[in-house]
Amino acid sequence: MATTLNTTGGGPAQGATGCPRAANPGTPGPPPADLTPLAEPESAPLGNARVADRESVAADRRRERADLREGVADRRQASADLREGVADQRQASADLREGVADQRQETADRREGVADQRQESADRREGVADQRQDSADRREGVADQRQESADRREGVADQRQDSADLREGVADRRQASADLREGVADQRQETADLREGVADQRQESADLRQEAANLREEVADRRQEAAELREEVADRRQEAAELREEVADRRQEAAELREEVANLREIAARAKAELAADAAAQLRDANEHLVVASVKALALIEVAEQARAQMAYLAMHDPLTGLPNRTLLTDRLAQAITLAERHGTKVALMYLDLDHFKQINDTLGHPVGDQLLQSAAGRLQACVRHSDSVSRVGGDEFVVLLAAVMAAPDAVRTAEKVLRALAEPHLIGDHRLQVTLSIGISLYPYDGADAAALIANADLAMYHAKRGGGNRYQQFTADMTGG
């Protein structure tokens, strides 16, 4: 008996693009195939068998449709995952473009590096385009799967396999997106490093400018100190002249006293000759005047000697610290050079300068600064031998003369000892002050043949130590004179 099968509604609805059209969850699926018989069965048993076959076929059709709906749902989920992956890639691309824009704006001098980053961005965009092409290829594969789904059960199995592949592809794309984000993070880190490098260069430039300003200020201070030293020398000369004038006055007074003593002696002689009766009384008076005049004369002579000794001391020593000044240092250095030539030894000269001493004078006042200089002078004398000499040659400058050394390491050990000693806190009144030194070292006969050359080269080495940050020593080298 002939049977008509209505299969027009057996497959899922197709959209304009060939993709499965979204099903309404509230709408029942397509009706089962029309299995209405066109003729009466010949017999009841045969008809029941055919009805059972038709119901079996209908059940198979329903299972196929359920499988198809499940496959469509899997495809929709895969498409949603794919769109999410593409959105992540687009966001990653947007982040990458923003990072590249920041790098262009902030690192204009890094054009070559930015060009490389732009090339990397282009490569990533090309990768995104390749991924989009892959997506288009997969869509074409889905269309081919629809055409090849004549056998729906086998097609459903293929579609499930394709869905698994799509999920794996989405996972790969998500991994690629994560890699892109990591690349963006690396580029941002590189940008941060570049900014930090630029900041370091700017800081270094600022430090160099500050150092230049400090050097200019130090030169101005040295000039001021030189002017003050000249003024002090003029004052000392004036004091010496006044002391000489005072000594001359005292000598004049002593001469007048001697003359008065002579006159008194003459008066006593005349009184003895003329007044024999009261000779004893007049003689006592004369002797008393003579003793008083002699005592006054001796006192004046002692004062004159003390003034002369004080003048000689002030001409050779610093009045604040009591240390030898530049004049006495030059004399002792010349004697040390002569002895070194005779005995075949070396002479070391250390030129010392207190770091940032001007700030202490400006903030705490000159009395505190003077006490700090006295404390530093005492510690310097405690660091050297009795045969060595410590001198003050300027406001905050000292010179240590090491006589009869054998080699440069002897001077280096003394310099390290001085740095440690001066680094200990100085208790000045209510203040606890910590100061550092810059030390320049010259060695006879290698760094100078006379006192002036040794002092100048040690001073130059000290300035190199101060430019290096202070709190250090620097031995003189020949290339310093060429800078």
The predicted pLDDT at position 195 comes to 81
50 and 194 in a single domain? The answer is: yes
Q: Could you read off the pLDDT tens digit of each residue along the chain, which spans 483 residues?
A: 444 334 344 444 444 444 444 444 444 555 544 444 444 444 555 677 888 888 889 998 999 889 999 989 988 998 888 898 888 888 887 888 887 677 778 777 777 765 777 787 788 888 788 888 877 888 877 777 777 666 777 756 667 787 777 777 777 778 877 777 887 777 788 777 778 877 777 777 677 677 667 767 776 677 777 667 677 767 777 776 777 777 777 778 777 878 877 887 787 777 777 766 665 666 777 778 788 877 887 888 888 788 787 787 888 899 999 999 999 999 999 999 999 999 989 999 999 999 999 999 999 999 999 999 999 999 999 999 998 999 999 889 999 999 988 889 999 999 999 999 999 999 998 999 999 999 999 999 999 999 999 999 999 999 999 999 999 999 999 998 865
In a domain, 27, yes or no: no
In a domain, 150, yes or no: yes
CB 465 within 8 A of CB 411: no
273 and 303 in a single domain? The answer is: yes
Q: What letter represents residue 307's amino acid?
A: A
Structure tokens belonging to residue 174: 């998500």
The predicted pLDDT at position 33 comes to 47
Find the domain containing 429 and state its range.
326-482
d(CA 107, CA 97): 15
Look up tokens 């008076």; give the residue. Answer: 285
56 and 198 in a single domain? The answer is: yes
Domain end among 316, 348, 377: 316
Q: What letter represents residue 459's amino acid?
A: D
288 and 431 in a single domain? The answer is: no
The predicted pLDDT at position 155 comes to 59
Whole-angstrom CA distances from 276 to 26, 267, 269 are 168, 13, 11
292 and 374 in a single domain? The answer is: no
In a domain, 250, yes or no: yes
d(CA 261, CA 435): 62
58 and 188 in a single domain? The answer is: yes
Q: In sequence order, what DSSP letters do the residues of 166-215 get, joined into one string?
A: HHHHHHHHHHHHHHHHHHHHHHHHHHHHHHHHHHHHHHHHHHHHHHHHHH
Answering whether pTM is above 0.75, one says: no
In a domain, 212, yes or no: no
The predicted pLDDT at position 75 comes to 87
In a domain, 116, yes or no: yes
In a domain, 109, yes or no: yes
For the chain, the domain total comes to 3
Q: What CATH number is attached to the domain comprising 442?
A: 3.30.70.270
Whole-angstrom CA distances from 429 to 121, 362, 369, 426 are 68, 17, 11, 9
In a domain, 280, yes or no: yes
In a domain, 3, yes or no: no
242 and 364 in a single domain? The answer is: no
The predicted pLDDT at position 191 comes to 72
CB 437 within 8 A of CB 422: yes
466 and 347 in a single domain? The answer is: yes
The predicted pLDDT at position 311 comes to 82
The predicted pLDDT at position 152 comes to 72
